[in-house]
Amino acid sequence: MMKKTIFTVVLLAVIQANIQAQNGSISAEDLSQIKKAYSGTTADKAIRNAIANIDINRLALNAENQTGLNGDFSDKVTTKGITDQKSSGRCWLFTGLNVLRAQAIAQHNLPELRLSHNYNFFYDQLEKSNLFLQGIIDTRTKPADDRMVEWLLKNPVGDGGTYTGVADLVAKYGVVPQDVMPETNSSNSTSRLSQMLALKLREFALELRGMPDNTKTADIANRKIEMLGTIYRILVLNLGEPVQKFTWSRKNNEGKIIETREYTPLSFYSEMFGNDLTGNYVMLMNDPSREFYKVYEIDFDRHMYDGHNWLYINLPIDEIKNAAVKSIKANKAMYFSCDVGKFLNREKGTLDVNNFDYESLFGTTFGMNKKQRIMTFASGSSHAMSLIAVDIDANGSTKKWMVENSWGDTGYKGNLIISDEWFNEYMFRLVVEKQFVASNILELLNQKPIRLPAWDPMFAADEN
């Protein structure tokens, strides 16, 4: 009887182990095998002690790669003044206005020009609120678990954005100098304002979706305007009321006033820039997870209901580099976005795949290529900056690049220096004037764009 009992217990244990193996859970035997990966050598203990007390990036800092990138460049765009987006996700807006600023400084021979980001941010938040509310109205008859309805409710408003937002905003509302509408605490630190706006907009969404099916279209539209009035008041209290007219004095390089005039935001934009940011520019993308030489459009990926969806040409990296080099040589800065958090040495202001040696530190490899990182959500565009310089060697090969950042006087004099290899791996978007793009590439714009959904993960807003 005892032997039978023991046999039964052993049999049950074997059966239980088999069940665990089959359902994918970690059995006791599995755990025993897994534990062998850490042997507890003196080297392991030393690394463990170090990681417990020191930041991983400091430990992984590659001592053999500390002199590779310097501030010498063969070609550089003329630009003056470093900006700081503070604790906000407005890098897209800073980058877009920095590109305009560099253009105006060169075109009008200005000593400096600082534009108000707060002014355009105000209208960005108002337009995004309208975009959301109208999206809710357009989908109000769809069920709550509809994918588009869910996406709208998850993303009512935010401070991130893309180049198309800059283009549409300045075309509709113009621009103003920084001192005409200066920053506020809420523009410099946007998280609380974003939370309040999102909360109110979601409340409005429930009201709109709860209206009877037979509610007149005009009544819904009137109620939306009332809702936007509430949003406008919140924005004024946080950001100030946008100026309608202002007086601005133009100075020469010696700082002397040469002209003082009254402007509207649109007349100031027209006189200082006069540039069609939608028609004269094209967005180029390097996304090896999708077919190259195709045009893509992101559904509902815009800042304004009557604005433009994000449309781009997907190209191999060398095609994008060719256009970038031509633009820099012509003294034209570009909107550039990338996965800035990868291999960033903040102290030196460099982006280089050899900045940190994680493999030696952890005793393993991290071998995914760009396509694989995109497919597994390990990498994507997160931050926008202005591409302003390239270093080309005697053989015509690009060695390194430089971007003007919007993190204040950090990194390399407010800029980041990028190795050519990092550019290949973590650069995603470049907006460049069409004159610098090959004609056969521009002809691709005649294609019917491939429409991608708003929730496609590769197309989150630039916001770092």
- CA-nearest of 56, 68, 69, 66 to 360 is 56
Q: Which two tokens stand for residue 92?
A: 């897209």
Mean of the pLDDT values across residues 22-36? Answer: 89
pLDDT tens digits for range 155-183: 999 999 999 999 999 999 999 999 999 99
Contacting residues for 309 by C-beta, under 8 A, at least 6 apart: 164, 297, 298, 299, 300, 301, 302
Q: Which of 100-114, 286-300, 333-347 shows the lowest mean pLDDT across its residues?
A: 100-114
Residue 114 reports pLDDT greater than 70 = yes
Residue 190 reports pLDDT greater than 90 = yes
Which pLDDT does position 461 carry in this prediction?
Answer: 72
CB-based contact 401:391 (threshold 8 Å): yes
Which pLDDT does position 18 carry in this prediction?
Answer: 59
Residue 19 reports pLDDT greater than 80 = no
pLDDT tens digits for range 31-64: 999 999 998 899 889 999 999 999 999 988 888 8
pLDDT tens digits for range 65-77: 877 788 899 999 9
How remote is the C-alpha of 35 from its chain's centroid? 40
Residue 13 reports pLDDT greater than 60 = no
Which residue has better confidence, 250 or 343? 343
Which pLDDT does position 404 carry in this prediction?
Answer: 92
Written as one letter, the residue type at 31 is: L
Q: How many CA atoms, within 13 angstroms, populate the side-chain half-sphere of residue 447?
A: 19
CA distance 164 to 311: 9
Torsion from C-alpha of 82, 85, 89, 90, nearest 10 degrees: -70
Which pLDDT does position 211 carry in this prediction?
Answer: 96
The residues facing 195 across adjacent strands are none
How many CB atoms are located within 10 Å of the residue 125 CB?
Answer: 25
CB-based contact 265:176 (threshold 8 Å): yes
E strand or H helix that includes residue 280: none
Which pLDDT does position 222 carry in this prediction?
Answer: 97
Which pLDDT does position 3 carry in this prediction?
Answer: 52
E strand or H helix that includes residue 76: strand 75-76
pLDDT band at 104 (very low <50, low <70, confident <90, very high): confident
Q: Which two tokens stand for residue 101?
A: 């600023």
User: What percent of the chain is modeled with pLDDT above 90?
Assistant: 75
Which pLDDT does position 8 carry in this prediction?
Answer: 56
How many CB atoms are located within 10 Å of the residue 391 CB?
Answer: 20
Which pLDDT does position 15 carry in this prediction?
Answer: 57
Residues with catalytic annotation?
91, 383, 405
* 3-state DSSP assignment of residue 345: strand
Which pLDDT does position 21 carry in this prediction?
Answer: 53
pLDDT tens digits for range 284-338: 999 999 999 999 999 888 999 999 988 999 999 999 999 999 999 999 999 999 9
pLDDT band at 7 (very low <50, low <70, confident <90, very high): low
pLDDT band at 250 (very low <50, low <70, confident <90, very high): confident
Where do the domains of the chain lie, and which CATH numbers do they carry? 75-459 (3.90.70.10)
pLDDT band at 12 (very low <50, low <70, confident <90, very high): low
CA distance 429 to 51: 35
Mean of the pLDDT values across residues 205-230? Answer: 96
Q: Which two tokens stand for residue 441?
A: 């590439």
CA distance 9 to 75: 78
Which pLDDT does position 57 carry in this prediction?
Answer: 92
Computed over every residue of the chain, the mean pLDDT equals 91
pLDDT band at 127 (very low <50, low <70, confident <90, very high): very high
How many CB atoms are located within 10 Å of the residue 409 CB?
Answer: 10
Residue 382 reports pLDDT greater than 60 = yes
Which pLDDT does position 293 carry in this prediction?
Answer: 98
Which pLDDT does position 278 carry in this prediction?
Answer: 78
Q: Are strands 415-419 and 398-404 parallel, antiparallel or unpaired?
A: antiparallel
Q: Which of 51-60, 233-242, 417-426 shows the lowest mean pLDDT across its residues?
A: 51-60
Q: Which two tokens stand for residue 235?
A: 């924005």
